[in-house]
Chain A
Amino acid sequence: MSTGTFAPAPGAAPVVRQLLTQAGMEARLMLRNGEQLLLAVVIPVIVLIGAVRGAEKVGLDLDGRPIDVLTPGVLALAVMSTAFTSLAIATGFERRYGVLKRLGTAPLSRATLLGGKVLALLLVEVFQFLVIGGVGLALGWSGPAGVGGVLALLLAALCGTAAFASLGMLLAGSLRAEATLAAANLVYLLLLAGGAVILPATMYGGLGDVVRWLPSGALGEAVRSACDGAVAVRDLVVLVAWTGVGSALTARTFKWE
């Protein structure tokens, strides 16, 4: 064997290093992209401030102070925007530009790649929670109820991320990049308006029972309960079920190129 500059010395990096590398890269790209940042932080913050002011003005009949009801809702919205819309758009363009194909030639397994993506989503969500939670606290939000509340909040965010990420991947893996972009934004807007994310399902009257079966409603309810220090088992089960359906369909339909 030669000892030249290019003498072969092949080998894959340890999986943990690959996972962290991939997650770091994806999170960085997401936070550097203006549109993604708009979706991840700017819109939720505007929604939070606007909704709190609006609720006070029109005297919305909420079960508690508007800021305490709306901040958890906006946190749920942030999870949805990152795990669903941002992920779908980014992955759609990764397919289009051959990034997934290129990564497919690196010694990176698909499981590690997916794990990296999920970890990147969680990193971005931590950042979102800090910003949105900070704005909420500044506006008088009482915050999650103790350590139990924080843990319940993390559990809800995790289940919501899994459910929305599996649906986002389903979209990205079956449509063209432009169609994914359009559909991911449209679904986001529809769920934002009528999916019981920001406003509790009880505000939807008779439809409330229906929207709680949506991943958006289930996530919203789970985050609101968590902030009150409770684990909303039923809503978490709904999210897990969506994860199962989304993952199974994605595994069948996802096209890497």
Chain B
Amino acid sequence: MRYGDTVAVDGLSLTVDRGTVTAVLGPNGAGKTTTLETCEGYRRAQGGAVRVLGLDPVRQRHELLPRIGVMLQSGGAWSGARAEEMLRHFARLHARPQDVGLLMERLALHECGRTPYRRLSGGQQQRLGLALALIGRPELVFVDEPTAGMDPQIRRAVWELLEELRADGVTVVLTTHYLEEAERLADRVHILDRGRLVASGTPLELTRGGTVATIRIVVTQPFPDGAPEALVRELGDGTELTVLDPLSLQLSGPADSTTLATVATWCATHDVLPESLSLGQRNLEDVFLELTGREEFA
């Protein structure tokens, strides 16, 4: 896909399984929204094939639309329409709509049902957008940054809702800036950068990717002379040791039980009593930053 001379999405190939939650991550301008809009039939792919529920999103849009729900990033309502009125309107366009009251309650919209769209807060507009995506009981929902700008309590409610959707057999494709969101919700994560797919996998696969773990040891008495060096020798080449200060050191190396056993043996041999010993896995944020090389993704 290009806009003028800019290639927005290039040679992207990914598949989404039914009944799963898929997260598409990437820095701003990575092509997340373009990818979603191509699946929704708003844009025609300039190359390759796109099939959504087995249908061509452009040529078979008429068949596809009733089966999908779409949450846009912003806007999409008459400024004078009231929240509940908007939701009821969309409900009547579908054959077997979801219960309006239930959705309003679940998305904390019942307090602003009579408020015109232009006077809703950003978070309320977001939630109404999500409600509009779910009102037609879709098989598949595309949600573009579902919790952007929501306060933590409501974000959690939205996460629970999305988890319930999956449990009820709905396929969810979401884009997000919040890695925590992807880590918690997604069965599969796809990371895009500059229109290309740079990584795919379950959150576990991705964070295990480099099989690098960090072990941090803090002691109450300074390490005996030569003990840290001995530890490096015992662990072998794959491990890096950093003495943080006289009372703590950090190892980074293979995340397996052998490493841990070696550390424990070393403690016994050198009479080291750790005050704390902590293991840290890489999280999705580390992976994301490594792959996209960017600090800013918000």
A positions within 8 Å CB-CB of B? 1-2, 4-14, 17-18, 21-22, 25, 29, 32-33, 93-94, 97-99, 101-102, 104-109
Contact = CB atoms under 8 A, between A and B. Distances in A.
Given A102-B76, A102-B77, A21 B92 contact: yes
Interface in B154-180: 164-165, 167-170
B164 A10 contact: no
B75 A107 contact: no
Contact of A102 (B72, B92, B95, B169): B72
B93 A21 contact: yes
Interface stretch (B1-9, B129-137, B183-191): B129-137
Given A2-B169, A6-B170, A106 B93 contact: yes
Given A10-B67, A10-B139, A4 B167 contact: yes
A15 to B, nearest CB: 10
B interface, size bucket: 35 or more
B74 to A, nearest CB: 7
B164 A12 contact: no
Contacts of A21: 89, 92-93
A222 B133 CA distance: 46
Interface in B58-82: 62, 65-70, 72, 74-81
B27 interface: no
A128 to B, nearest CB: 19
Contacts of B137: 6-10
Contacts, number: 120
A180 B124 CA distance: 29
Contacts of B98: 5-6
Nearest to A90: B78
A109 B63 CA distance: 11
A94 B78 CA distance: 7
B102 interface: yes
Contacts of A12: 65-66, 93-95
B76 A97 contact: yes
B37 to A, nearest CB: 9
B103 to A, nearest CB: 10
A211 to B, nearest CB: 36
Contacts of B138: 8, 10
Contact of A107 (B65, B165, B167): B65
Contact of B136 (A10, A33, A93, A101): A10
Most buried by A among B65, B139, B170: B65
A17 B72 contact: no
B164 A5 contact: yes
Nearest to B73: A98
B244 to A, nearest CB: 49
Contacts of A2: 167-169
Contacts of B233: none
B42 A101 contact: yes
30 contacts: A2-B167, A2-B168, A2-B169, A6-B164, A6-B168, A6-B169, A7-B137, A8-B169, A9-B95, A9-B96, A9-B137, A10-B96, A10-B138, A11-B66, A11-B94, A11-B136, A12-B93, A18-B92, A21-B93, A94-B78, A98-B74, A99-B77, A99-B78, A102-B72, A102-B77, A102-B132, A105-B69, A105-B70, A107-B65, A107-B66
User: Can you list the 3 inter-chain pairs with the closest CB atoms, starting with the nearest?
Assistant: A102-B76, A11-B95, A4-B168
A60 to B, nearest CB: 40
Contacts of B297: none
Contacts of A108: 93
B78 A13 contact: no
Contact of A6 (B77, B92, B165): B165
